């Protein structure tokens, strides 16, 4: 296991579209290097859930920003927040600059944790941590991502409709890539990892080589 030897926290930025495998990869990387991990999608989801629970509208930016400022990073529950409706609502409020400002502030504070952090999301390498020494952009074709999501649901013993999931993945991509504020796109200096035809283990090994190189440069 490699540990950074300098005092400055080391940030690994992992971006990419929904269901590309960045969550699994980020958790594995964080565990390997003993770094703190933040799935920033959960911060947008927690904001959306707070609005839904309070019966508040999803299109009132001032209210949504206020909710975003109250999100506690320590209390993010992946199981609850992974519900489909919460993801849809999160994608809607994520277009609001006020919400993004509030959540990016919290994410940047998290990124300062020692000895290092892994943040995954859509705009980590471009906006949240543009100076991160390692930036990965994890992607896969929309069809492969829809297939993975479909297989996950079926593996849980639930019914799934592939065409509906495929349409949903494409709609989510359009919203994430098409918004004016911080659209999903690779940072210019990001390393692209296309997992369409790559196992998670191969993606992890590729990521590890890049991280080890950057850690050696940093020492
Ligand atoms: O990765 P996810 O499905 O949990 O993300 C939910 C929504 O949050 C997604 O549609 C886009 C948004 N998001 C974002 O705009 N910026 C991030 N850094 C992370 C997520």
| Res 155: pLDDT | 94
Q: Which two tokens stand for residue 51?
A: 């609005």
How many whole angstroms separate alpha carbon 12 and alpha carbon 30? 9
Low-confidence ranges of the chain (pLDDT < 50): 4-5
| Res 9: pLDDT | 87
How many whole angstroms separate alpha carbon 1 and alpha carbon 36? 15
Q: From the CB of 120, is ligand 1 less than 6 Å away? A: no
Q: Which two tokens stand for residue 111?
A: 């990124």
Residue having the nearest C-alpha atom to atom 11 of ligand 1: 91
9-35+116-212 — its CATH code? 3.40.50.300
Q: From the CB of 65, is ligand 1 less than 6 Å away? A: no
| Res 7: pLDDT | 58
Atom of ligand 1 nearest to the CA of 182: 15
Count the neighbouring beta carbons within 10 Å of the beta carbon of residue 62.
Answer: 8
Distances (CA, A) of 130 to 42, 141, 150, 190: 20, 25, 34, 10
Give me the residue spans of the domains in the chain: 9-35+116-212, 39-114
* Å from CA of 92 to ligand 1 middle: 10
Model confidence, pTM: 0.93
50 in Cβ contact with 71 (< 8 Å): yes
118-154 confidence digits (pLDDT tens): 999 999 999 999 999 999 999 999 999 999 999 989 9
Choose one of 19, 27, 88, 94 to mutate for the ligand 1 pocket test, by most ligand atoms within 8 angstroms of C-beta: 94
């Amino acid at each position: 296991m490699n540990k950074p030897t300098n005092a400055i926290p080391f940030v690994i930025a992992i971006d990419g579209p929904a269901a590309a495998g960045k969550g699994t990869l980020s958790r594995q990387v964080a565990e390997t290097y003993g770094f703190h991990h933040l799935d920033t999608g959960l911060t947008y989801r927690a904001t959306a859930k707070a609005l839904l629970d309070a019966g508040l509208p999803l299109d009132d930016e001032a209210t949504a920003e206020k909710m975003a400022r109250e999100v506690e990073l320590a209390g993010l529950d992946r199981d609850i927040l992974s519900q489909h409706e919460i993801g849809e609502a999160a994608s809607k409020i994520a277009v609001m600059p006020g919400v993004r400002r509030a959540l990016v502030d919290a994410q940047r504070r998290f990124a300062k944790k020692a000895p290092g952090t892994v943040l995954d999301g859509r705009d980590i390498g471009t906006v949240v941590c543009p100076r991160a020494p390692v930036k990965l952009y994890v992607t896969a074709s929309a069809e492969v991502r829809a297939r993975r999501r479909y297989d996950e649901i079926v593996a849980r013993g639930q019914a799934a409709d592939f065409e509906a999931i495929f349409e949903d993945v494409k709609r989510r991509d359009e919203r994430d890539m098409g918004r004016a504020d911080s659209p999903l796109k690779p940072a210019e200096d990001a390393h692209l990892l296309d997992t369409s035809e790559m196992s998670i283990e191969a993606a992890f090994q590729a990521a590890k080589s890049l991280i080890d190189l950057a850690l050696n440069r940093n020492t």
